[in-house]
Amino acid sequence: MNLAELLKVEQQPGHWVIDARDAIRSGHHPRFEILKLVEGAPAGTLCEIHVPHRTGPLIAALENLGLNVAVAEVEPAHWRLRVVKG
C-alpha cells in the first residue's frame, strides 16, 4: 500500500479534509504529500488536515507556503490544522 492510499481525502467544493492520522500512526511522514494536495487546491479552499499529534515540521512547511495555520487539539491524539489556500 502506498502512502497516498493511507491518506483519507474528502474533496468538497471549497472544503477539503485530509486525514493523515493512520499514515502517521503507521510510521509514515506524509508532509510532502499533504503539501502537494494543499498546493493543488483551488484558491479559497479551506483545507483541514487531521494528525495524531502537533506536527511542527508540517505547520512550518505550510507557513513557508505563505499560509496562516490555525491549530487546534480536537481531543487527545487528534489535532486539526486549518489553512485557506490563497
CATH code of residue 55: 3.30.110
pLDDT above 70: percentage of residues in the chain: 95
Confidence of residue 2 (pLDDT cuts 50, 70, 90): low
| Residue 4 pLDDT level (bands cut at 50, 70, 90) | low
What's this model's pTM, rounded to 2 decimal places? 0.93
Reading the block at residue 79, the C-alpha cell is 489535532
CB 48 within 8 A of CB 41: no
At residue 6 the predicted structure's pLDDT band, cuts being 50, 70 and 90, is confident
Residue 56 pLDDT exceeds 90? yes
Average pLDDT, the chain: 94
Whether residue 86 has pLDDT greater than 90:
no
What average pLDDT does range 46-73 have in this prediction?
Answer: 97
* DSSP strand pairing (78-84 vs 70-75): antiparallel
Q: How many domains does the chain have?
A: 1
- Distance from the Cα of residue 51 to its chain's centroid: 7
Sequence-distant (6+) residues with CB within 8 A of 35 are 61, 62, 65
For 23, the domain range is 3-84
